[in-house]
Structure 1
């Protein structure tokens, strides 16, 4: 680290960038936790539906209906995961470009 890198102004700027990075990481973790909660809810619904369909006293028509619901829930989960992934990817890209200009050699990374 050069002497110039230790100036109060540069240290203050780096501290501000670090604080912004922490806020962004916290929001990503929050989104990931929400995704896990949604996924757990979906698995619970799928579990309930399959347990119902596995009962011996369920008609074939009801089984077909349950399988249709399971299929729709699976598609819903896949679409939701794709949306969340795209949102995170775009947010991270936008943040990287606006904060660091996409420069991996930025002084913050040294």
Structure 2
């Protein structure tokens, strides 16, 4: 499974697959297929909690009754969106596709968002 790359772009975030790399004989192997380069870019702040949840973020660990875009009795939606943005900022860089297989398989590979 290829790695993922999370990038911060101004007021948004891009989650992308990275191409598999091969050298020498691996490229001649008929079994080798490069990964599909796929990306998702979110710029609307109300999408940050969903993208962060793909990487393990829980908007409200006390009640788990919100997706982070609706107030719960513990936090406002604004607080959870800010927390999701901070979580994404902490995870910017190269990520393991194996560790975040939900992000890779469900969203990037199938193209399903939400």
Q: Which has the larger radius of gyration?
A: 1
Larger fraction in helix:
1
Larger fraction in strand:
2
TM-score w.r.t. structure 1 length? 0.27
Higher relative contact order (CA 8 A, sep 6+): 2
TM-score w.r.t. structure 2 length? 0.26
